[in-house]
Amino acid sequence: MSLVIRAFEQGDAARVRELFVVVNRLLAPAGMQAEFERYIERALREEIDRIADYYREGGFWVALQSGRLVGTFGLEPAGADAMELRRMYVDPSARRNGIGSQMLRYAEGEARRKNCDRLVLSTAALQSEAIALYEKAGYRKVREEASAPGSHKTVGDVRRLHFEKRLR
């Protein structure tokens, strides 16, 4: 099945929201469900429910397979020469089909078109499949840290790994 990646449209909002919630609930380790629910609620309010405004400077895209939304990702500025990859999610029922790799290549192309030399990203240490994808695609880990609690970008007490890739 071919994958179509296109810019987010307001009609995608409900499905993007649903995918964000499903993926983050699946990521919640035992004993951290309540903390993840608070994180999900805050991220929905501050970012996911206002994608067009939040990603105005970078962009947000959806991946469709047979007309069904199966993935998302966004870019936001991260300094003079870089963009940050954000919210790259693949529907759990559509994983292991190369969707993440295709979205990552597309994001790199978009960052190049925006004259960026680097694409940076961070992911939770518990996302081993995502980490493997980034490393296979040539990203190098630049640092590891404890998450700052109380952010729409991270859940507290989950280690964050930061990666970057030179695009030029």
Which pair of tokens denotes residue 31? Answer: 């004993």
One digit per residue, pLDDT tens: the chain, 168 residues? 699 999 999 999 999 999 999 999 998 988 889 989 999 999 999 999 999 999 999 999 999 999 999 999 999 999 989 999 999 999 999 999 999 999 999 999 999 999 999 999 999 888 999 999 999 999 999 999 876 555 545 555 578 899 999 998
pLDDT at 147: 63
d(CA 87, CA 21): 11
Residue ranges in 5-98 assigned as alpha helix (H): 13-27, 33-46, 51-54
What's the confidence (pLDDT) of residue 59?
A: 98
pLDDT of residue 146: 76
Rounded distance between C-alpha atoms, residue 123 and residue 128, angstroms: 9
Give the dihedral sign, CA 43/143/29/119: positive
List the domains of the chain with CATH numbers. Answer: 3-166 (3.40.630.30)
Residue 126: the pLDDT is 84
HEC letters along 31-58: CCHHHHHHHHHHHHHHCHHHHHHHCCCC
Cβ-based burial of 131 (10 A; exposed 0-12, middle 13-18, buried ≥19): middle
Residue with tokens 């987010």: 8
Retrieve residue 161's tokens.
Answer: 């790994």
> Cα–Cα distance between 107 and 125 in angstroms, integer?
22
Task: Note the pLDDT of residue 104.
Answer: 98
The burial of 85, by beta-carbon neighbours within 10 Å (0-12 exposed, 13-18 middle, 19 or more buried), is given as: buried
Tokens of 165: 């890739």
